[in-house]
Chains A and B, each alone.
Chain A
Amino acid sequence: MTERTYTVVCNDEEQYALWDVDRVAPPGWHPVGFSGSRSACVAHVDRQWTDLRPRSARTSPDPGSDTGSDTATGPATGAGE
């Protein structure tokens, strides 16, 4: 079976997805300019897409759900308040 070629596309909410390189991307999606095998595209998105929150859901800088806690830390055990 021949391996298929994909292209990476992006929408207005800055969400990424893979699409068949032979097909026109549906409305609201535009190619970002990277194409390749499935695994190559997945790896590309892993590098590029850092904030999975849709743009309209972002009211503040990334709260760190991807990069770890940014809140003041208390003691590791015991009371917190």
Chain B
Amino acid sequence: MSVQGRVWAFPASYGQERIWLAEQSRPGSTVFAVGLVFPLPPGTDEDAATAALTAVVARHEPLRTSLRAVGGRLEQLVHPGVPVALACTDLGQVPASQAQALVHRSCQEDMAPPFDLEQAPLWRARLLLLGDGERVLTLVAHHTVCDGQSWQVLKAELSELCLARAESRPPRLARLRLQYADWAVWQREHQLTPAAAHRELDHWRARLVGLPAVTAVPTDRPRTPDVDDAGGEVFFAIPQAVADRVTGCARRWRVTEFAVLFAAWAALLARLGDDPDVAMGVPVSGRSEPDLAGLVGMFVNTVVLRVDMSADPSFEALTRQAADVALEAMEHGDVPFQQVVSALAQARGGGAEGAGGPALLPQVGFNLLQGTPLQRGYGTAREDLLLELAGRSGRLEYRTALFDDSTAREIADRFLRVLRAATLDPAVPVSRLPLVDASEQARLDVLGTSTDPDHTAAVPAGALLPDLVLARAARVPDAIAVRDGDTVVTYRDLAERGRRLAGRLTAAGVGPERLVAVLLPRSADHVVTVLGVLLAGGAHLPLDPDQPLERLASLLASSGAGVLVTRDGVPPGLAVPGVRIIDMSQDAGPAATPQAGVGPDRTPAGPSHLAYVLHTSGSTGTPKGVAIEHRSLTGYVRWFVERCALGPQDRVLAVTSPTFDACVNELFPVLVTGGTIVVAPPCHAGDPRRLADLVVEHAITLLPLVPSTLAEWVASGQLARCTSVRQVVCGGERLSGHLHRALVQQLPVPLHNIYGPTETTVGVTAFRALPTDHHAAAVPIGRPVAGARIRLLDARGGPVPVGVPGQVHVGGPPVGRGYPRHPGLTAERFVPDPFGPPGSRLYRTGDRARWLPDGHLEFLGRLDEQVKVRGVRVEPGEVETAVRSLRGVLQAAVVLREDAPGGPGLVAYLVPAAGTHEQAGWRAALARVLPRHLLPAALVPLPALPTTAAGKLDRAALPPPGEAGRSTAGAAPELPRTAVERLVAEVWEQVLGVPGIAAHDRFLDLGGHSLLAVRVVTLLSDLLDVEVPVHLVLADGGVTELAGAIEALVVADAVPPRPDAAAGARAARAVEEVGQG
């Protein structure tokens, strides 16, 4: 069908522009297609329906509109006529119960082909003939030409047209005094004068300052740049009683029901994300003038409602705040959302849009529908999470790339739970609203309980560790207990020397609860001494001979230890007033004293007596002693023996300094089972080759490591030699999945990842990582062990739901006694356990973790190391994982630094493989896997990562990042080289007004945004005679990457050469003649 007449060009409205721009960066996406379903009078036939459709198309210009980008602006072209094609589908045979689903599926199929926005009409219509004469007209339209309220307009008009025809009368339709395009012009020229717009944007800039770039709600999968619009939905119903209370609250407080419901949703989001600052996008109709009510067109605008709960308000107070915020937002709701976004981006210093086009921030939405029912979605989601309510029906739409359906279902359930509790007792502060119901609490209880046999339950006398070691020694006296260089200690020797030492100690006054300081390096002596101390009933206090003398003297004096065991006398300069010295070099040796039975054959200590005191420095720096009792230690060791299935054939390499509790793993488990401890001399520490030599020479079967050390072993390639090793024990730091995979490539054996602070006896959770495992981020820390009870609690001490981060609290037998010299600190950290037996305590670890759906724990880092970059909480571990997986990178650590380029931000320190200088490639590779807000501000190569004496990363020793500059760290910016690169750089310079563009500078970083990208594309396409898609310019690559992509286009001839464009349409009201047919 052809119509003669003019095509009129008008500027597009801001709303149309926003949608069009968003689509440019998502080629092929169907997220902006809208499905409208209209019931028609029964019996309406195809002709009648077509006539009705033709009439509304003639009436409403948006149904005859296409869009076109010209010279950096978007135009809408109103055509005099468009083909009105009405497809028809006969579903008469389908039973009524399935009809709705099939209508929905039909819409979905009609939506699948993307719209070419330059081709009118931007809709597809279909008539569905259902059983019993029922008729449905579906209209799948592009969002640029219609919105939700347009549905009501069209529904009324189509009905009326069909009825009028059936009754053979003229249709009664209101006269339209204006059309959508008129409004678009008015919007730009009158509704918002520059002065008014300026004022409005000032308001929004102030209101939204500091808005986090991404929402804090935890997702099931990381937010990578390729998160798409695929969506899912869950439906739910608000119980009548709750709905009545919502109405009651609204009436009592004289606010809208919107405010009450919004407040409940905001409170839930704040709790889930552990962030009191919550902002959401809320749609407003945008039809402020009465004449607009009857128009079809895209009027909807979005406003941002932001509430702050950091004062922990009651629910009532929060609702009042929400009501005020909503009112204020409406008053300033005329300014197009896109302008607000741009203003915020500029305030942030450009580059905040990201590859997804104008950031549809915030990524959480709320919509309260009035007068329209909830509609099923079509498999897309425009936000991470959108809560829609209509009456008592609710719908939660979510991005499937980020959330599982079960998680979305849980979020919906929690919303109802919060709404129920909040409306029941509105005085409850937001922090106390219940997220967890009784059945989930029961599940958390089960998760938090160790399922290992509880070895700590009743540790009978005679079954403490020293007794167990003696019992083993009696059974295998000739087996080798310790090897230390050339020294060989059999179990008989060990028992005799241990008992002899215990005798000396007892004579010196050692007994239960008496501390014995031990100043010995890792050695056979040390093993004997520990046994002797425990056999005498005393508590072992290890001192590190490598420490400065002053510190040793201070530790010794403050501990109150009365006895010091050392070899060859006390080091000169170490003051030990009032302390008895036991010198190992004066031990007469096995042959000298023939008397059997010298020294005790059982320890006088009981299960609740002290076993050892270790000093930790923690994050504050000042060392404090941690006291651990026998029952905790025995329980842990017995668990470890069982977990590793240790036996007499096991040989463990002792590599840990005696002052760290990981040393326990290398000492007791082997001695109670009759295996051998092979001591690695302190001089070999940090030398994987020498240590590997020992592993091979002595056929070590159990290898204990800390992740930082493991990284060195992996880098050295020595692990492959260690074929005798049958399992690895790891702990003390977060273990990345990447490092684990590197390990198993050289040494494919199980790895036990053990988590636990010193205060709770070595380890309280463990995970068995198999060589076939693939962990995307970090290896989990597993499940509670050794009788430990694990609770994840929020700041108010309430349990957090599965998946939500909380602070790790430990209860049960592994909990230590406390800090002997710091009672106040002990009272602060060891708190009453509301979930355990009366009078029991929980230790607050200061670590964050969350339960994974499979019941394992994921370690997230220290609470006080939590990092916020531009208002968004980030897990440096996530970034570390990405940096470590770069090609040529051996090790990496990511920290927040105040002195990062451009202000406080993430800095990645990495250890490149020899001969690697891949810095620019690294940035591009990271940009492909990390969202913008996680990209490090600088990448600093180091020859090695600094470590502490315990083998963990030494953050304080990391160097300042220095002048990393715009492109690479340190190097002078690389200039564009190839002809295409130079051309791209020139065009960018022209459009952006920025001189001296380097090869790796990115468009968005230099102040570019989507509209400027269109200008770039126009220029490039003209110059190169190839159609350059806009999304390539907005992608995260630099000049070089864009040039490469363009060259690829030319070579592949993937895009046909540009048609001869109508160069005439430049002015605001250009006119084209459309000829026949």
Chain A residues with CB under 8 Å of chain B are: 1-2, 8-9, 11-13, 15-20, 23, 25-29, 38, 41-46, 48-50, 52-54, 56-57, 59-60, 63-74, 76-81
A16-B827 CB under 8 A given contacts A54-B817, A66-B820, A78-B569: yes
For the complex, what is the distance from the CA of A10 to the CA of B56, rounded to whole Å?
Answer: 79
List the B side residues contacting A17 at CB < 8 Å: 827-828, 830-832, 841
- Cβ A23 vs Cβ B797 within 8 A: yes
A26-B577 CB under 8 A given contacts A8-B827, A42-B827: no
Majority SS of interface residues in chain A? loop
- Cβ A73 vs Cβ B578 within 8 A: yes
- Cβ B581 vs Cβ A71 within 8 A: no
- Cβ A15 vs Cβ B830 within 8 A: yes
- Cβ B560 vs Cβ A80 within 8 A: no
Known pairs A16-B826, A81-B582 / 9 extra A-B pairs, C-beta < 8 Å: A17-B831, A20-B797, A49-B824, A52-B627, A52-B817, A66-B820, A66-B821, A71-B508, A73-B578
The size bracket of the interface on B is: 35 or more
A–B Cβ pairs within 8 angstroms, 25 of them: A11-B838, A15-B818, A16-B826, A18-B828, A20-B796, A29-B832, A41-B824, A41-B828, A45-B823, A45-B824, A52-B820, A54-B817, A57-B606, A63-B514, A64-B562, A65-B513, A65-B514, A69-B579, A71-B509, A71-B562, A77-B581, A78-B569, A79-B586, A81-B508, A81-B582
Closest to B607 in A: A57
- Cβ A63 vs Cβ B831 within 8 A: no
Chain A nearest CB, measured from B461 CB (Å): 13
List the A side residues contacting B562 at CB < 8 Å: 64, 69-71
- Cβ A26 vs Cβ B583 within 8 A: no
Q: Is B310 located at the chain interface by the 8 A CB criterion?
A: yes
- Cβ B820 vs Cβ A65 within 8 A: yes
Q: Is B512 located at the chain interface by the 8 A CB criterion?
A: yes
For the complex, what is the distance from the CA of A8 to the CA of B477, rounded to whole Å?
Answer: 53
Which 4 pairs show the lowest CB-CB distances between chains A and B?
A28-B838, A28-B839, A42-B824, A49-B823
Closest to B565 in A: A80
A72-B509 CB under 8 A given contacts A2-B311, A18-B827, A46-B823: yes
- Cβ A59 vs Cβ B512 within 8 A: yes
List the A side residues contacting B310 at CB < 8 Å: 1
Greatest chain B CB density within 10 A among A13, A48, A56, A81 is at: A81
- Cβ A53 vs Cβ B513 within 8 A: yes
Closest to B570 in A: A77
For the complex, what is the distance from the CA of A46 to the CA of B609, rounded to whole Å?
Answer: 22
Closest to B576 in A: A76
Q: Is B504 located at the chain interface by the 8 A CB criterion?
A: yes
The contact of B838 among A27, A52, A71, by CB within 8 Å, is A27
For the complex, what is the distance from the CA of A1 to the CA of B78, rounded to whole Å?
Answer: 57
The contact of A80 among B511, B515, B578, B583, by CB within 8 Å, is B583
- Cβ B560 vs Cβ A64 within 8 A: yes
For the complex, what is the distance from the CA of A1 to the CA of B795, rounded to whole Å?
Answer: 13
Closest to A8 in B: B827
For the complex, what is the distance from the CA of A81 to the CA of B563, rounded to whole Å?
Answer: 11
For the complex, what is the distance from the CA of A3 to the CA of B652, rounded to whole Å?
Answer: 50
Chain A nearest CB, measured from B466 CB (Å): 18
List the B side residues contacting A48 at CB < 8 Å: 823
Chain A nearest CB, measured from B991 CB (Å): 47
Q: Is B837 located at the chain interface by the 8 A CB criterion?
A: yes
- Cβ A26 vs Cβ B833 within 8 A: yes
- Cβ A46 vs Cβ B824 within 8 A: yes
- Cβ B823 vs Cβ A50 within 8 A: yes
Chain B nearest CB, measured from A75 CB (Å): 8
- Cβ B827 vs Cβ A74 within 8 A: no
Q: Is B580 located at the chain interface by the 8 A CB criterion?
A: yes
- Cβ A9 vs Cβ B832 within 8 A: yes
List the B side residues contacting A63 at CB < 8 Å: 511, 513-514
List the A side residues contacting B822 at CB < 8 Å: 46
Chain B nearest CB, measured from A35 CB (Å): 13
Chain B nearest CB, measured from A7 CB (Å): 11
List the B side residues contacting A69 at CB < 8 Å: 560-562, 578-579
Write the B817-858 contact mask toward A (1 if CB under 8 angstroms, else 0).
111111111111011111001111100000000000000000
Q: Is B608 located at the chain interface by the 8 A CB criterion?
A: yes
- Cβ B839 vs Cβ A13 within 8 A: yes
For the complex, what is the distance from the CA of A42 to the CA of B823, rounded to whole Å?
Answer: 8
Q: Is B507 located at the chain interface by the 8 A CB criterion?
A: yes
The contact of A76 among B577, B627, B838, by CB within 8 Å, is B577
B residues 545-573 with Cβ under 8 Å of A? 559-563, 569-570
List the A side residues contacting B832 at CB < 8 Å: 9, 11, 17, 19, 25-26, 28-29
- Cβ B823 vs Cβ A19 within 8 A: no
The contact of B824 among A11, A43, A71, A74, by CB within 8 Å, is A43
For the complex, what is the distance from the CA of A63 to the CA of B561, rounded to whole Å?
Answer: 10
For the complex, what is the distance from the CA of A40 to the CA of B453, rounded to whole Å?
Answer: 42
List the B side residues contacting A43 at CB < 8 Å: 824
Chain B nearest CB, measured from A29 CB (Å): 5
Closest to B514 in A: A63
- Cβ B834 vs Cβ A26 within 8 A: yes
Chain B nearest CB, measured from A73 CB (Å): 5
For the complex, what is the distance from the CA of A55 to the CA of B312, rounded to whole Å?
Answer: 40
